[in-house]
């Protein structure tokens, strides 16, 4: 069985069907690279006990990052403005054990007019400001990247999710820390996956697992033409489309990225 097909089966809830293949391949470094690239090592640690020696580092990494998030969420609860945490740290709370969901960073959203006030507060609480890119400001907290978004995409990609949508669909966790409701989480997943296909990140198989958990809780996409187009595209992604390494920074891939955005804008 091909490596991408195994990841797809696990993400779709069919771990038992591929258990023999996983155990057979657990010492294959190429297979391990596939699992790790798609952020599924800590999940495999739980689903396939036979692989725990192999994926122990993945579980330790996940534990470390979630501990950092626990400290950061205490800071965000006291933020001077409302802040929404989304993507991995939000969806991870839906897993049977959040350690199964390896996070690579923390994604936050704040209203654009409140970014500077939040920035001053975060720096005062020990976060390091790293850089600005269109639509987001990047910090670092205890080694973990923290991306504060004021928009979910940048040109040429339309997001289909506006400030009003976020304010209508974010749910207070505690203090000034909010999470998206399931509908907004699912919509953000589809938009993020679409714009990631032709950048360094590429598509990650763990997003199929995220989608399954969200849909299992009754999540439906927001009423947006752009989000619906991203949903249809997401359903078209096949195991054969997966990669086991970051996308090269080439002229061809840059052109693909632009065309992918233009297609969405015209959809």
Tens-place pLDDT, residues 29-47? 999 999 999 999 999 999 9
pLDDT at 159 over 90: no
pLDDT computed for residue 22 by the predictor: 98
- Contact between residue 169 and residue 222 where contact means Cβ atoms under 8 Å apart: yes
Residues sharing a CB contact under 8 Å with residue 209, sequence separation 6 or more, in sequence order: 10, 11, 12, 40, 43
| Sheet-wide strand order for 106-109 | 128-133, 136-141, 144-149, 106-109, 83-86, 177-180, 170-174
pLDDT computed for residue 267 by the predictor: 84
Q: Helix axis angle, 251-266 relative to 225-236, nearest 10°?
A: 130
Mean pLDDT, the chain, integer: 96
Q: Mean pLDDT across the stretch 132-141?
A: 96
The model's confidence at residue 201, banded by pLDDT at 50, 70 and 90, is confident
Q: Residue 220 to residues 28, 49, 95, 226: CA-CA distances in angstroms?
A: 39, 34, 18, 14
Q: Which of 92-96, 173-177, 185-189, 244-248 is predicted with the least confidence, judged by mean pLDDT?
A: 244-248
pLDDT computed for residue 46 by the predictor: 97
- Count of CB atoms situated within 10 Å of the CB of 252: 9
| b (16+ CB within 10 A) / e for 125-136 | eebeeeeeeebb
pLDDT at 200 over 90: no
pLDDT computed for residue 25 by the predictor: 97
Residue 1's Cα: distance from chain center in Å? Answer: 27
- By C-alpha distance, which of 186, 201, 211, 214 is closest to 243? 201
Question: What is the Cβ-side half-sphere exposure of residue 114, based on CA atoms within 13 angstroms?
Answer: 17
Residues sharing a CB contact under 8 Å with residue 255, sequence separation 6 or more, in sequence order: none
Tens-place pLDDT, residues 46-77? 999 999 999 999 999 999 999 999 999 999 99
- By C-alpha distance, which of 110, 175, 111, 180 is closest to 148? 110
Tokens of 188: 């953000």
Q: Mean pLDDT across the stretch 216-244?
A: 96
The model's confidence at residue 1, banded by pLDDT at 50, 70 and 90, is confident
Residues sharing a CB contact under 8 Å with residue 127, sequence separation 6 or more, in sequence order: 75, 139, 140, 141, 146
Residue 205's Cα: distance from chain center in Å? Answer: 11
CA angle 76, 62, 218 (to 5 degrees): 70
Query: In percent, how much of the chain has pLDDT > 70?
Result: 100
- Contact between residue 41 and residue 35 where contact means Cβ atoms under 8 Å apart: yes
Ordered by where they begin, the domains of the chain are: 3-266 (3.30.460.40)
């Amino acid at each position: 069985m091909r490596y991408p097909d195994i990841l797809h089966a696990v993400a779709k809830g069919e771990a038992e069907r591929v258990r023999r293949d996983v155990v057979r391949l657990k010492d294959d470094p190429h297979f391990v690279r596939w699992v790790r690239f798609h952020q599924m090592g800590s999940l495999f640690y739980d689903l396939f006990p036979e692989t725990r020696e192999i994926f122990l580092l993945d579980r330790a990494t996940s534990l470390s990052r979630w501990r950092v998030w626990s400290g950061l969420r205490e800071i965000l609860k006291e933020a001077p403005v409302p802040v929404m945490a989304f993507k991995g740290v939000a969806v991870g709370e839906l897993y049977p054990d959040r350690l199964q969901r390896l996070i690579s960073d923390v994604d936050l959203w704040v209203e654009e007019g409140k970014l500077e006030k939040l920035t001053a507060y975060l720096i005062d609480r020990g976060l390091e400001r790293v850089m600005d890119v269109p639509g987001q400001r990047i910090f670092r907290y205890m080694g973990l990247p923290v991306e504060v978004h004021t928009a979910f995409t940048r040109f040429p990609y339309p997001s289909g999710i506006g400030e009003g949508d976020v304010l209508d669909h974010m749910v207070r966790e505690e203090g000034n820390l909010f999470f998206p409701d399931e509908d907004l989480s699912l919509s953000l997943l589809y938009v993020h996956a679409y714009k990631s296909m032709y950048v360094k990140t590429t598509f990650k198989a763990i997003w199929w697992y995220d989608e399954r958990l969200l849909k299992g809780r009754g999540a439906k996409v927001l009423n947006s033409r752009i989000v619906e187009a991203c949903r249809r595209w997401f359903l078209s992604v096949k195991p054969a489309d997966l990669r086991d390494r970051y996308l090269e920074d080439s002229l061809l891939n840059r052109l693909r990225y632009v065309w992918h955005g233009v297609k969405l804008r015209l959809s």
